[in-house]
């Protein structure tokens, strides 16, 4: 039987923000907090950023739950981090007192939330991109997630990078005219596409660059063929990630869920769904819960608590 006196913690640590959820032993969410990004914690500056983000979201969640952040002991805590847990494991245990810990990557908690713990595949299309799946035997596989330099096809940074390339090609006369050039210049105040390129190297971090992916959607909605092609190619590459995971884990049809800002684009989402059906026969579903709730579910299961989540706030 669930022990309502126990407390559970789930944390989603991402490239743009960190979210903490606290639940009681019956699965009721009683506290929620937000903090800044907490990825890449190995260097001294990254460690400080990690502690700031974690402390902010934990303090806020504990205040809402009306518990003392300095003395609380959790029955189980699950952390899912963008970029993996390798540089954050010890810090997480230092910050949070818990009888049990699970410290993993963001894709695992995103899948747990999206399917409420059932087998399936999750595709993350945020600043970066990757696909992750788990079957009924507990076997897992992943595809992508190699970072903005070597991969992250179809993610927000990649969409903006493609848009910048298209703007540069148009400006230099070896690519078709595109509304993306003027939209990018207007958004950044750059004088021309070459100036924009140098500003992206010097003045913008990858999260800010990824945030400009919405301009590709804007251009596509205005009828820009170049922007439409960028969205179509991104959807195809994201679907190929799904196919890679599917072939390693499944023979049956399973749900494929999506999470992340790039899937807010209806054209990309529809194109992605069609490609996934063609490649695997699976249908794309909206996630039941967000990644932080997935981490909370993993914490409950870690303690042998089979409670369903209740009063789960929407994750944005």
Condensed to tens digits (0 to 9), the pLDDT of residues 247-263 reads: 999 999 999 999 888 99
Compare 40 and 172 and report the one with higher pLDDT. Answer: 172
Confidence of residue 44 (pLDDT cuts 50, 70, 90): low
Burial of residue 87 (number of CB atoms within 10 Å: 0-12, 13-18, 19+): middle
pLDDT above 60: residue 42: no
Condensed to tens digits (0 to 9), the pLDDT of residues 207-228 reads: 889 889 999 999 999 999 999 9
Q: Check if the beta carbon of residue 9 is closer than 8 Å to that of residue 33.
A: no
Q: Which domains does the chain have, with CATH numbers?
A: 7-116+289-302 (3.30.420.40), 118-287 (3.30.420.40)
Name which of 38, 109, 28 is nearest 65 in CA terms.
Answer: 28
Least confident of 10-14, 41-45, 212-216: 41-45
Condensed to tens digits (0 to 9), the pLDDT of residues 87-118 reads: 788 888 988 999 999 999 888 999 999 999 89
């Amino acid at each position: 039987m669930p022990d309502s006196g126990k407390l559970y913690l789930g944390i989603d640590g991402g490239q743009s923000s960190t979210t903490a959820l606290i639940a009681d032993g019956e699965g009721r969410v009683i506290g929620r907090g937000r903090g800044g990004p907490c990825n890449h914690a190995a260097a001294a500056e990254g460690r400080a950023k990690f502690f700031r983000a974690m402390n902010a979201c934990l303090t806020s969640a504990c205040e809402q739950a009306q518990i003392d952040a300095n003395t609380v002991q959790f029955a189980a805590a699950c952390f899912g981090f963008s970029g993996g847990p390798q540089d954050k494991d010890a810090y997480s245990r230092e910050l949070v007192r818990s009888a049990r810990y699970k410290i993993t990557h963001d894709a695992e908690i995103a899948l747990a939330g999206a399917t409420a713990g059932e087998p399936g595949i999750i595709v993350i299309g945020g600043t970066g991109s990757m696909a992750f799946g788990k079957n009924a035997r507990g076997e897992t596989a992943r595809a992508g997630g190699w970072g903005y330099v070597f991969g992250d096809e179809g993610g927000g940074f990649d969409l903006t990078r493609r848009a910048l390339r298209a703007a540069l090609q148009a400006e230099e006369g070896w690519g078709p005219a595109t509304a993306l050039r003027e939209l990018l210049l207007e958004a950044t105040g750059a004088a021309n596409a070459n100036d924009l390129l140098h500003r992206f190297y010097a003045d913008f971090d990858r999260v800010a660059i990824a945030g400009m992916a919405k301009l590709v959607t804007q251009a596509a909605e205005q009828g820009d063929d170049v922007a439409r092609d960028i969205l179509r190619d991104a959807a195809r590459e994201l679907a190929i990630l799904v196919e890679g995971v599917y072939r390693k884990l499944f023979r049956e049809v399973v749900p494929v869920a999506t999470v992340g800002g790039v899937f807010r684009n209806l054209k990309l989402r529809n194109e992605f769904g069609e490609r996934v059906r063609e490649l695997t026969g699976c249908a794309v579903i909206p996630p039941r819960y967000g990644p932080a709730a997935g981490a909370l579910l993993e914490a409950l299961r870690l303690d042998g608590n089979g409670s369903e989540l209740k009063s789960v706030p929407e994750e944005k």
